[in-house]
Structure 1
Amino acid sequence: MCGIGGVLYKGKNGPVGDDLKQLVYGIRHRGEDSSGVAVFSARENCGDGAELILNVRVEKCGCQSGGETLNVIRKLLTDTGGRVIDTRVNGTIMSIRILYGGSVLDLCYLLDQYNVQTISVGNRLRIYKDLGTSDRLDEAYNYSGLAGTHGIGHARLATESVVSPDRAHPFWAYGFSDVAIVHNGQLTNYWKLRRRFERWGYRFRTDNDSELIAIYSAHYLKQGLELQGVLEQSLADLDGTYTFLVATPTEIGFAKDKLAAKPLVYVELEDRVVLASEEISLRALLPGEEGYTVEEPPPYIAGTWNVSGERRMKKLTYRAVGLE
C-alpha cells in the first residue's frame, strides 16, 4: 500500500512544492518508508533548448564531497561542449543548472561511468526523494518553497523491493527529459516487459516495478503518442493492480486498472486540479474551500489535464491482450 498525489494549476504558477508536502503528508498512513515529490517549474526553454536542471545524489556518487562530484560533472560537460551555470545543494541532492546541447541519454550514460546517481533531468523537472515522511523530506530539502505549474508526490510502503532513497518515488524516466511517475500497486508482468525494453536498448536503475512505468511512458511519448494515448495503451499492456500518475512538462495524467483496487480521487476547481489516493489528503490541502465535489474515477480509465486546463478522460472496455 502506497499513497499518490498530484496538483496542476491552470494557466498559472502556484505553490506546488507546499501543496505536495501537504498532500503527501495527508496520506502518510499509507506508507512512511520514504516519500518524494516531482515539481515542474514554469521555466521556459532557452533559445537552443539546451538548458537543463540536473539533480544528482551527492552521497551516492562515489566521490568524497559535493565539490568533487561537481568537478566530475564540469569536466564531462566541458568535454561535450556544455557548462555548469549554477548549483544548489539541499540535503544530499545537488541541483545543477547546465547548458548542454547533446543527448540526455548520452549524458546519463557518461554520468553512470563515474557512478553519479542521477535523480532527474529536465528543463522544468526537479525531483526530491528520501527516506521518511514528506515533512521530514522538506526539512532536509526545503522543497516546499518551490513554485510551479504542476507536480506529483508519493508516500511509500515498500512491499517488493528494499527501502532506499533510489527506490523511493517519484521515478524519473532514465535518459529522458521531464518525465516522472508515481505508482501505487504491483505490475505482474514487470520482468517480461523489462526484458523487452532492455532488448530495445533501455537501462533500468533499480528492481522496482514502478520504474518500468516511467520508461514505458517516455518510450511511447517519444514514438509520438500523446500522454492520453500512452495511458490508454498502458491499460492493455500493463498487467496487475495499479493506479499511477504520469507528469510531463505540460500535463498530469492517470491510469487506473480494471480492478480499481488502488484508490484515486480528485477535485477540479476553477484554478487547479488536485488528485490523491484518499479524500482526507484533499481536504488537508483544501480546508477553506467550499462547494467542491470529490470525484472517484471508475475502473479501467485513463485521463489527463494540461496546464491550460483542458481535461481528457476515457473509460476503456477490458480486453485480455497487450504488448506483444
Structure 2
Amino acid sequence: MTSNSRDETFNVNLWHASTENWIQNGATHGPASGPDAVSSDNREFQSPSGAKSPPKQPIRLGILTQFYPPDYAATGQLIEELAQHLGATGLEVKIFSGQPGYAFRTAAAATWERAGSVSVRRSQTSRLWPHRIRGRAINGLLFALRAAVRLLDPRHRVDVLLITTEPPYLNLLGYLASRILGIPYICLMYDLYPDVAVVLKVLQPSHWLTRFWVFLNRKIWQEAQALIVLSSTMRDRIVAHCPTVKSKIAIIHSWSDPQFIQPLPKTENWFAQQYHLDRQFTVLYSGNMGRCHDVETLLTMVDLLRDDPIQFVFIGSGAKYQGFRAAIDRGQLTNWALWE
C-alpha cells in the first residue's frame, strides 16, 4: 500500500472512530462511562444481584443532509459511506435527505428505503433552479423547514443528530432540537457561512445579516457536542469567530477508498487508453468549478505550460464551467481536455 493509501485509510478510520465516540458521548450528554453509559451493542449485562436486564437498544442516529445518493454530490457520497459503516457497528442510522437536486442522472429516487440498519427518507421539497444562488437558497430553506417538521414528530425521534452544512443554515435545527427537545447534535461542516458569501461579495462584512449569522453560529457551535471540519484553515476561521469552541473542533479530511481507487500503469488503465491519456504526462483536475473554486489559477498554469509536453485534463462542472471553457478557447490553448 502506498503512503497516500495509508493516509486515506487513516482518515477513514479516524472519521469513523471519532464519530462513533462523539455519538456515544452525545447520546448520554457526556462521556460514556459509569453504570448509565449508553452502548451501541445489544449485549445483555448483569446487575450486582445477578439478574439480567433487557438488551440495550441501539443508539438512534439521525443524519440531516440535503444531498444523498443517487445525487452524486461529494457530501452525499461521504455521508453514505459513513452511514453504512456506523450502521454496521450496531447503530440505527436514520437519514433525512432530499431528492436529487445538485449533480445527478436520476431525477427522482425512492422516498423511503432501508439497507440493514440504515434507513433513508427523502423529502419531496422543491428543486427550483438548483444551479442558481437564489434557487439553491430557496430549495435549502424548504428542505430545512421539512426537516424541522420531521424532528418535531415523536415517531421519528432520535438520540443524537449529525447535521451537515447542506444547506448552510441546517445547523440551526440542531440548536433548536437541543434546546427544545433535548437532542444533542454534532456539526459536520463542509462549508462555512457567512464567510463564503462575504468572500464572493454576496454580503458585506458589516451587513446586519452577516453579523446576525455570525451571532447564530456562535450559539450553534457552543451548544454542539462537537464540530467536524475539513482543514486547519476552516478551524482557524471558526476559532476567530468563537474562541471558546476550540477544544471541541476536530479536523478530519474527506477520504477516498484506497481499496477501490488505486494507481494503475497507463497500459492497464482503461480510462487512459480510451481517452488517449497514455501518450504524455497528464495533470488531472476532477471536481467542482463553482464560485468558490480558483479556476483562474488553473487557466494561468495551462497558458504558462502551453509549449511543454504536458496535457491537462479537467473533469467537472459548476458556475464557472462555461467561463472556464470560453477562456481556454480565447487563449487558443491546445494542451487540454475538458469534460463536464
User: TM over 0.5, yes or no?
Assistant: no
TM-score by length of 1: 0.29
Pair member with larger Rg = 2
The structure that is strand-richer by fraction is 1
Higher helix share: 2
